[in-house]
Amino acid sequence: MEAKHIKHLYNRIGFGITPNQTYHLVGLSKKEIVNQLFNTSKNTTPLTVKVDFNFNDLKDKTRRRELVKKSKRKLKEYNIAWIDRLFNPAELLREKMTLFWANHFVCKDNNILLVQQYNNLLRKNALGNFGDFVTKMAKEPAMLKYLNNRQNVKQNPNENFARELMELFTLGQGNYTEKDIKESARAFTGYSNNFKGEFILRKKKHDYDEKEFMGKTGNFYGEDIIEIILQQKQCARFISNKIYTYFVNDNINKDHINQMVSVFYPKYDIKELMKFVLLSDWFYADENIGVKIKSPIEFLVGINTIVPFTINNKKHTFLIQRLLGQTLLNPPNVAGWKGGRNWIDSNTIVTRLRLPSVLLNNAEISYSDKGEFEDTVTDFNEKKLRKKVAIATITKWNVFTENFKNITIDELTQQIIITTINSGTAQLLKDTKNVSKQDFCIQLLSLPEYQLC
């Protein structure tokens, strides 16, 4: 396989690749490389942090508040653990798919135990069967809570979950009626959980009567509703579109989607679908290479692929995520991050172009604590809230030197930048080549071109 195509593949299913790794793959065929990717992602290593408390004591208000506080601290720990995992992923494809699904089955909660369970459900099913995945998600406590299904009871149905199930998780807008929402909401009444985070059906709250959903009638449960949804080819199309946008190109090619749908429907095997995409010729077409804007996480982790680094003060990890506009575990709303050009505004572009110098060259960055709603801010002193910091990192330039030892400065550009460089910028790079390899690398990472993958 051609080096360029290997790089493209790893940009999309991972976070870039070093010349050393590429070198070892060049002799292999496309099939061998793709199979290897799936093989290394066969297992699932759950992501956990140690939690030494539980939530069975929620009646007392003071105690509850204390727990929420503890839990929030743990969530931060979990966020950092996730970023660490992405910096050193064993199951690369699975982790990338997990990020994808986290922005599909979007959910947010304050309870670390529920969040952990939900997050690992994503990880475990990332390459599994989509039908099973949705069914499990419909019983996942964090999700039931987030979409108000615990308030969905026979006496007073709450339609939130049913609506998002169809609009965002399976069919997309315009492919169901308001009546379908009402009827399916009834099928999910009583779907709830206990304090241990286990699913329970509250029998007294469930509506056992007949429902009419998408032309079918029966005493449906939630699972039956999902079954009927999966029978719609539109569901396979909706998911294929989303995968195509995320892994291939923001601009949809209908022929490619049709091919994907015929692979995906009716079995809904995610692994099979992904294999098909990664083995297709069109995935490697020039029009699909170097045209997507990296998400903040892809951008951040991508820098680490080239020059590994660790951030000394863990708090700075949040700061970076916030300034770039994507904090893991904290999506903006149930629709998730919109992606593409929406990542970029005047502020995020400046942050992005500056971040490589900040991380690798000890440049300063200024910020203020926007604070959270729940914060008990007692100190409003400006100096304490507004800070200018150098984000101290330990950079492993020796790893960079080793990985890029056979690469000349001339070759460095095409190793790091996958897209065609603007000719004016290329000229500028030519003129500034008599700097060290390290400095030249930082320059490349600071270009608008590096934002693309």
Partner 1 sequence: MDRRKFIKRTSLASGGLFFVPQFLKAFDQHIINPFSNKKIVIVHLKGGNDGLNTVVPFRNDIYFQKRQQLALSANEFFKITDEVALHNSLKPLQKLYNNGYLSIINNVGYPNPNRSHFRSSDIWQTASNSNEFLNTGWVGRYLDHTKSKPHNAIEVDESLSLLLKGKHQNGLALTNPKLLNRIVKEPFFSNVIQHYNDTHLSEHNLGYLYDSMINAESSAKYIYEKTKTQKSTQTYPKNVFGKQLKTIAEFINSGLETQVYYAGLNGFDTHVNQKNRQKKLLTIYADSIDAFIKDIEKNDSFKDVLVLTFSEFGRRVQQNASKGTDHGSANNVFILSKNLQKQGLYNNISNLQNLDENGDLKYTIDFREIYATILNNWLQVNDTKILNKSFSKLKFIKPNN
> Judged by CB, which is closer to partner 1: 231, or 342?
342
Contact indicator for 161, 149 with CB cutoff of 8 Å = yes
> Judged by CB, which is closer to partner 1: 60, or 198?
60
d(CA 449, CA 147): 39
CB of 287 to partner 1, least distance (A): 11
CA-CA-CA-CA torsion sign (243, 126, 289, 29): negative
> Judged by CB, which is closer to partner 1: 81, or 344?
344
Contact indicator for 183, 173 with CB cutoff of 8 Å = no
Helix then strand then coil, % of the chain, to nearest 5: 55, 10, 35
CA-nearest of 393, 328, 361 to 108 is 328
CB of 348 to partner 1, least distance (A): 8
> Judged by CB, which is closer to partner 1: 377, or 394?
377
d(CA 415, CA 436): 16
CB of 425 to partner 1, least distance (A): 5
Strand-pairing partners, residue 269, are 129
d(CA 306, CA 214): 51
CB of 251 to partner 1, least distance (A): 10
> Judged by CB, which is closer to partner 1: 127, or 293?
293
CB of 314 to partner 1, least distance (A): 19
Strand-pairing partners, residue 387, are 367
Residues that bind partner 1 (CB under 8 A): 61-62, 65, 163, 250, 291-293, 322-323, 325, 332-335, 338, 340-342, 344-350, 353-354, 366-368, 370-377, 380-382, 385-386, 419, 422-425, 427-428, 443, 446-449, 451-452
CB of 307 to partner 1, least distance (A): 17
| Whether the bond into 46 is cis, omega within 30 of 0 | no
> Judged by CB, which is closer to partner 1: 204, or 388?
388
> Judged by CB, which is closer to partner 1: 24, or 61?
61
Give the max Cα distance, the chain: 77
d(CA 41, CA 275): 13
Q: Which helix (H) or strand (E) holds 230?
A: helix 222-231
Burial class (CB in 10 A: 0-12, 13-18, 19+), 434: exposed
CB of 151 to partner 1, least distance (A): 12
> Judged by CB, which is closer to partner 1: 150, or 275?
150
d(CA 445, CA 163): 42
CB of 33 to partner 1, least distance (A): 26
